[in-house]
Structure 1
Amino acid sequence: MIKRALQHTFSLLNVDYVQLNTKWNYGNVISPYYRIYYIDSGAGEISDPAVLLKLEPGYLYIIPSFTLCNLSCNDHLSQYFVQFFEESNDGTSLFSNNRTILKAEASDTDIKLFIRLLEINPGRGINRSDNPKIYEKNIFYKEYQELNNQQNIATYMETQGILLQLVARFLNPKIYKHHEKNIIPIKITETLSYILVNLHQELSVSYLASRVNQNIDYFSRQFKEYTGERPINYINEKRIERAQYLMATSRMSYSEISLQTGFENLSYFSKTFKKFTGMSPREYKKQIYSVGFDHQG
């Protein structure tokens, strides 16, 4: 019998029902966690570089992790929302090939799932002051992680099940436009896995090519053919994604994060970070707390 193992799990950050107004207006937001909204009244907009969607009652919306987006409300908007981290066995994301905002018509079941998620995870909203003297930065991510650890097994499994069901709504072939690719050669697949678990190590193209006994030029061409990116660009992209995650979930300094993600110095790390995110590490961290904790949703 062929068994199909579940490769992805989710870690709850926040879930709540909120009433929003014109203060909910943020541009160039990029976060290491997912957002799913269910709108029950009012109107708003969310957009990424490729799409602009109207937020309207009766629909679900997902913003995958590491998706650059804009959020706005011109008058009134009420929504259920959930924010959560994604984890996978090989470090890849369900939306790694399609980081774009998606929309799906909600069903009665979806609404009940949000209500149930709130019921079994009370006190998981965002109720932080915007006074930096009051909140202690990323200690709040640690707080929510500890709440997950304290869940009994029944609540943990039910929370996982609900998050899986909500994410699955956007993986329907009618909604999720999967980028079909040819079967990736085993040497490239193995290299991708090696990169993801060794981001803190030196990862030169020559070394990666030698690991799989290939000529550098041939390896680089194959890598780009099957990933769409040159090896160095792919490595730096994954390093910056890891840095974003560490900035949100740890109390490491920028220098420590730079070392943990394989950058030779802080200057190169900062330059590369800005290239991929459009903002400096300091600006990004400030954004995490303004969007993630100081205001709802």
Structure 2
Amino acid sequence: MIKRVLQYTFSLLNIDYVQLTAKWNYRNVLSPYYRIYYIDDGEGEISDFNQTVKLEPGYLYIIPSFTMCNLSCKDKLSQYFVQFFEQSSHGISMFSNNRSVLKIQATDIDIQLFNRLLQINPGRGINRSDDPKIYEKNIYYDEYQELNNSQSQGVYIETQGILMQFLSRFLNLNKNEKPNEHVIPIKIIESLNYILANLQLDLSVTQLASMVYQNVDHFSRQFKQYTGMRPIAYINEKRIERAQYLMATSRMILSDICDQTGFDNLSYFSNTFKKITGMSPSEYKKQLHFTKC
């Protein structure tokens, strides 16, 4: 019998029901958290680099974290939405191999789950603006985390369960998920946790292998087997994700972001950033906060 351990937890940001107009029209939105929508009236669009997805009544939609997209509504659009951060014990996102907008037919249970999530987490709407440029700030994330910390154990567990149910609907569409993704040796998990907690430090394959008492070659092969990447490639990807998060949620200058993400110099940071995202840090930062009203 194969024993599986749940390796994901979630931090709720927002849950609400809103009625949007043509003012809901934002380009190049990239967030460090997940969005799930249920549409019950009107229509709109979500587009990413590869596709344009129509928002229409009776469907659920997910935008995985770090998925650049455009959001638009020509006339009116009513939606339930939930936004939340994902944490994993091994540092691999559920949708790391498929960061694109997904769509699935909704059921009556989905509507009940949204209503229940609203009931047990009152006052979690954005309430400031529907513009991501305005509400995506560290200070607001901290406010929501305080609300999570004050949840009773029952509400916390029920909230986790509802978010897992929503995500499970879309995982069946995620054809790129690896069969062995959930069965990762403890030594690799320990290495992943150390990497994520110490991205700002000088990290080397030799150091990581030594920490788990393996030789470098064996460690590198095993690391790639269970993550799909060589250690340095994984470290750089996570550093760039952290850089994207800092750009989205703070006003730090690029040199400070470079320091916070463990790069030796700004040139290496810029080259790595462009290799992974397809644009320079300055170009990315400009597009990140560009909106079309």
- TM-score by length of structure 1 reads 0.78
1:120 aligns with 120
User: Cα distance, 1:124 vs. partner?
Assistant: 0.9
2:261 aligns with 261
User: Cα distance, 1:257 vs. partner?
Assistant: 4.4
**Count of residues in Structure 1 that have an aligned counterpart in Structure 2:** 286
2:200 aligns with 200
Matched, 1:178 2:176: yes
Aligned mates of 1:207, 1:154 — CA distance in 2: 41
Counterpart secondary structure, 2:14? strand
Residues 182/147 of structure 1: CA separation in 2 closer, same or farther (3 Å cut): closer
User: Cα distance, 1:43 vs. partner?
Assistant: 0.9
State the one-letter code of the partner of 2:83: Q
Aligned mates of 1:185, 1:153 — CA distance in 2: 29
Does the CA-based 8 Å contact 2:137-2:250 persist in structure 1? no
Does the CA-based 8 Å contact 1:247-1:285 persist in structure 2? no
Counterpart secondary structure, 1:169? helix
Q: CA-to-partner distance for each residue in 1:213-267, whole Å, 9 max, x for gaps?
A: 245xx98788778755565443221112123345667897765543342122456
Does the CA-based 8 Å contact 2:9-2:86 persist in structure 1? yes
Residues 207/154 of structure 1: CA separation in 2 closer, same or farther (3 Å cut): closer
- TM-score by length of structure 2 reads 0.79
State the one-letter code of the partner of 1:18: V
Matched, 1:237 2:237: yes
* Aligned pairs for 1:34-45 within 5 A: 34-45=34-45
State the one-letter code of the partner of 1:56: E
1:89 aligns with 89
* Aligned pairs for 1:160-179 within 5 A: 160-172=160-172, 175-179=173-177
Q: Which runs of 5+ in 2 are unaligned?
A: none
* Aligned pairs for 1:1-297 within 5 A: 3-128=3-128, 137-172=137-172, 175-180=173-178, 189=188, 195-204=195-204, 212-214=214-216, 231-246=231-246, 257-266=257-266, 268-269=268-269, 272-273=272-273, 276-277=276-277, 278=279, 280=281, 284=285, 287=288
Aligned mates of 1:237, 1:130 — CA distance in 2: 29
Does the CA-based 8 Å contact 2:248-2:288 persist in structure 1? no
Q: Which runs of 5+ in 1 are unaligned?
A: none
Does the CA-based 8 Å contact 1:17-1:78 persist in structure 2? yes
State the one-letter code of the partner of 1:118: L
User: Cα distance, 1:89 vs. partner?
Assistant: 1.1
Aligned mates of 1:25, 1:279 — CA distance in 2: 25
Counterpart secondary structure, 1:142? helix
User: Cα distance, 1:185 vs. partner?
Assistant: 9.7
Q: Percent identity?
A: 66
Counterpart secondary structure, 2:156? helix
Does the CA-based 8 Å contact 1:243-1:257 persist in structure 2? yes
Aligned mates of 2:159, 2:184 — CA distance in 1: 36
User: Cα distance, 1:287 vs. partner?
Assistant: 4.4
Aligned mates of 2:260, 2:65 — CA distance in 1: 20
Aligned mates of 2:146, 2:280 — CA distance in 1: 30
